[in-house]
Amino acid sequence: MKRYVILISGRGSNMESLLDASLPGECVAVISNKPDAAGLASAAARGIPTVAIDHKQFASREDFDAALAAEIDGYAPDLVLLAGFMRILTDGFVRRYEGRLLNIHPSLLPLFPGVKTHAQALAAGVRLHGCTVHFVTPALDGGPIIAQAAVPVLARDNEVTLAARVLIEEHALYPRVAQWYLEGRLRLDGGRAVLDGEAPAAGALHVPAPD
């Protein structure tokens, strides 16, 4: 059975969606850079080993990433899942896990990388917003896209309402992608995400809907 590790920084709602999905693998650890991350307690309640490595205790980003990598490697995971892990990772760390490091980002990349994505979407006036699961590369939120889910942006939306609708899709999309990887169907090949047996969706989404 393949093994995976989840990295979090906060409440861990995407972590919980992964754990609730009965993935074809074993979650061998949940690791956070914040000792008070609420998701640690949630994971521990499920009997999953948890570790906190406080990034504030390290003199440099490189030192923290080295300690994090050493901890991860102790669990010998096949897959590392970033689930709300709010750290910019060094190139060396990313390359260490190349092809087995995934992230979910709350926008339709390449639009709106970084933080405050929902505010960015509202300010830009886009009609569609959503989330993206991608392989992690040294380019911030710039790795090969695996899958995306979109929601309409409504005239009455604010950051809270839009974020809530996107989060529902995050919780559905991330476990699906993790399952593909753990089943051996998903891989990084020549800088592109390749999914065996991919079935393209039919039709198109129009927002606003045509009369």
Give the mean pLDDT of 42-60.
97
pLDDT for 118-128, tens place per residue? 999 999 999 99
Per-residue pLDDT tens over the stretch 56-114: 999 999 999 999 999 999 999 999 999 999 999 999 999 999 999 999 999 999 999 99
Q: Which residues pair with 82 in a beta bridge?
A: 7, 103
User: Which pLDDT belongs to residue 14?
Assistant: 98
According to the model, what pLDDT value does residue 202 have?
81
Tell me how far CA of residue 131 lies from CA of 83, 97, 161, 163, 173, in angstroms: 13, 22, 15, 10, 8
Q: Per-residue pLDDT for 201 more than 90? A: no
Q: How confident is the model at residue 208 (pLDDT cuts 50, 70, 90)?
A: confident
pLDDT at residue number 207: 86
pLDDT number for residue 57: 97
Q: Which residues are catalytic?
A: 105
Q: What is the mean pLDDT of residues 10-36?
A: 97
Examine the pLDDT at 19 and tell me if it is beyond 90.
yes
Confidence (pLDDT) at 209: 80
**Helix-strand-coil split of the chain, %, nearest 5:** 35, 25, 45
Residue 46 has pLDDT above 80, yes or no: yes
Domains in the chain (CATH in brackets) are: 2-104+132-144+173-192 (3.40.50.170)
Q: Report long-range pairs for 203-207 (Cβ below 8 Å, ≥24 apart).
A: 205/128, 205/150, 205/152, 207/127, 207/128, 207/152, 207/153
Q: Is the pLDDT of residue 210 over 80?
A: no
For residue range 141-198, what is the model confidence (pLDDT) as tens digits? 999 999 999 999 999 999 999 999 999 999 999 999 999 999 999 999 999 999 999 8
Preceding peptide of 208 cis, ω within 30°: yes
Crossing angle of helices 13-20 and 38-45, in 10° steps, is 20
